[in-house]
Amino acid sequence: MTLLDTERLSEQYRDLDLRSTNGVVAALLEDQARAVTAVRDASDDLSRAVDLAAEFLARGGRLVYVGAGTSGRLACLDAAELPPTFSWPPSRAVALLAGGREAMWEAREGAEDDEEAGVLDLRQVQLSADDVLIAIAASGTTPYALAGLRYAKAVGALTIAFANNPGTPLLTEADVGVCLHSGPEVISGSTRLKAGTAQKIALNTFSSAVMVRLGKVLGNLMVDVRPTNAKLRERAVRLVVTATNASETEARAALEASGFRVAVSVVSLLRSVDTAEAQRLLDAAGGHVRRALT
């Protein structure tokens, strides 16, 4: 039987259970470090995925993730963190996990084989040609994710795939296939290890870079953060001060006037306009902060 690379036995760690605890920890950390290399090697495809996704999203499309198991849970995490980090509307970051929401907390391994569910879940969220579908699976062959990707192509959505085995259907059938070639795991077949780490790095990089392209970042400042607690409100003040060179008093006043919307406060102070005009400038710029300033 031909094995996928992620299923192969790593000869380097055949004696894992005989090593000291320090030795086991060292082996796991050593192998995890290879996840960074796997993502770096895919940087060209990752960049292409970012540029294409940003085009679709600028026209009003959604990010729709499909995955199973560890891959699906990582996709859910990525989608969940976009609203508080970039004020991205929750309705435009949809994560579909094989087995449903309960599978986030309790493994439902059989759900990944349900091709019909991969299609039905996308129909339920009314996937359209304006959307960006992100299919993610370590194997690159997971039926749930693959069926979802094929359905997305049929409706005309942009399809992006992340997988850890080269030449697999998920990668070859997507508009952009991002191969995170991480190889065999320390613990044979346990893709929650460096395959999952590579996926987490790639998803973080992809979604963050997309938000940069959409103007949700000014310089390297997170100027569209949603300050929903005390810590984040203090961060918002620091962001406004750093972006505008205003005093802390001026920054707080601008934030209070804008309902603690950092981007609006930044535009208001730098353009010397009131909150309403700052919001109008942002709306005219499609939410892109730097364009609103220039």
**Rounded to an integer, what distance in angstroms lies between the CA atom of residue 165 and that of residue 170?**
10
DSSP state of 2: P
Task: Determine the 3-state secondary structure of 274 from DSSP.
Answer: coil
Which entry of 102, 109, 112, 277 is annotated as an active-site residue?
112
Q: Are strands 63-67 and 132-137 parallel, antiparallel or unpaired?
A: parallel
Give DSSP secondary structure letters for the chain: -PPPGGGSB-GGGTTGGGS-HHHHHHHHHHHHTHHHHHHHHTHHHHHHHHHHHHHHHHTT--EEEEE-HHHHHHHHHHHHHHHHHH---GGGEEEEETT-GGGGTS--GGGGG-HHHHHHHHHHTT--TT-EEEEEESSS--HHHHHHHHHHHHHT-EEEEEESSTT-HHHHHSSEEEE----SBSSTT-TTTHHHHHHHHHHHHHHHHHHHHTT--BTTB-TT----SHHHHHHHHHHHHHHH---HHHHHHHHHHHTS-HHHHHHHHHHT--HHHHHHHHHHTTT-HHHHH-
Tell me whether residue 248 is one of the annotated catalytic residues. Answer: no
Tell me whether residue 81 is one of the annotated catalytic residues. Answer: yes
| Best CA proximity match to 158, nearest among 131, 197, 121, 189 | 131
Which entry of 7, 81, 115, 250 is annotated as an active-site residue?
81
DSSP state of 109: G
Task: Please provide residue 189's backbone torsions phi and psi, each rounded to the nearest 5 degrees.
Answer: 80, -5
The residues carrying an active-site annotation are 81, 112
